[in-house]
Amino acid sequence: MPIGTRVLPWDSGWDAIKRRFPCAIAVLEVFLPYILTKPSLNAECQFCKIVKGDVPSFKLIETEYSCSVLVDVGRWTLSRGHALIIPKFHGEKLADIPDEYLNDTLTIAKKIAIAQGVEDYNILQNNGPLAHQEVKHAHFHVIPKPSTDEGLGIRWNSLTPSKEDLQMVFEEIIGRL
């Protein structure tokens, strides 16, 4: 109890707790609604509309946390069987998505990759415009690669960092983990 705070005989319940722990209560009042409710989907988001069933799609697997569909938009279909896995949590980037949703998407990606029946495939997830993300809802692609002509084509912009640069980056990342 903070210094100078007195417990009065009539102090009880929520008001007494608010007086004794004002900072903790302020934080709880802000975040409690998010903790107690499941996140809602964004009514304007195309992927949220697919998850809700508002947009016709070829749903492959649907769970409590994710929905997977075949890509049926001409210019975005990279190969036969190209699928999307969409978390049922509206977050723009991977870091915005809770772990239980991410765990589910990877399990679904594995099942779809096996069911596609090809030996080679890509699992792709882009974050932000520089990384070629076009829809502001984190999602994963499962892209079969049956031949060199079909599927995802990648060209790497390679760097040759010095050992000192690698050490510095290593220390920065370790310090943030």
> Is a pLDDT exceeding 70 seen at residue 88?
yes
The region of weakest confidence among 6-10, 53-57, 133-137 is 6-10
How many structural domains comprise the chain? 2
Q: Are residues 117 and 68 in the same domain?
A: yes
Residues 95 and 136 in one domain: yes
Co-location of 51 and 125 in the same domain: yes
* pLDDT surpassing 70 at residue 125: yes
- Check: pTM over 0.75? Answer yes or no: no
Reply yes or no on whether the pLDDT at 94 is more than 60: yes
Query: Does residue 150 form part of some domain?
Result: no
Residue-range definition of the domain harbouring residue 3: 1-37
154, 145 contact by CB (below 8 A): no
User: What is the rounded distance in angstroms from the CA atom of residue 40 to the CA atom of residue 42?
Assistant: 7
Tell me the pLDDT band of 63, cut-offs 50, 70 and 90: very high
31 with 7, same domain? yes
Mean pLDDT within 37-66? 87
Question: Both 99 and 133 in a single domain?
Answer: yes
Catalytic residue, chosen from 82, 137, 139, 141, is: 139
Same domain, 102 and 125: yes
The neighbouring-strand residues paired with 68 are 61, 85
Do residue 22 and residue 52 come from a single domain? no
Question: What is the C-alpha separation between 122 and 85, in angstroms, rounded?
Answer: 13
Is 82 among the catalytic positions?
Answer: no
How far apart (Å, rounded) are the C-alpha atoms in residues 42 and 64? 17
Q: For residue 1, tell me if it sits in a domain.
A: yes
Indicate whether 170 belongs to any domain: no
Check whether residue 105 and residue 84 sit in a common domain: yes
Query: Are both 75 and 112 inside the same structural domain?
Result: yes
Nearest to 80 by CA among 92, 88, 71, 89: 71
| Residue count of the chain | 177
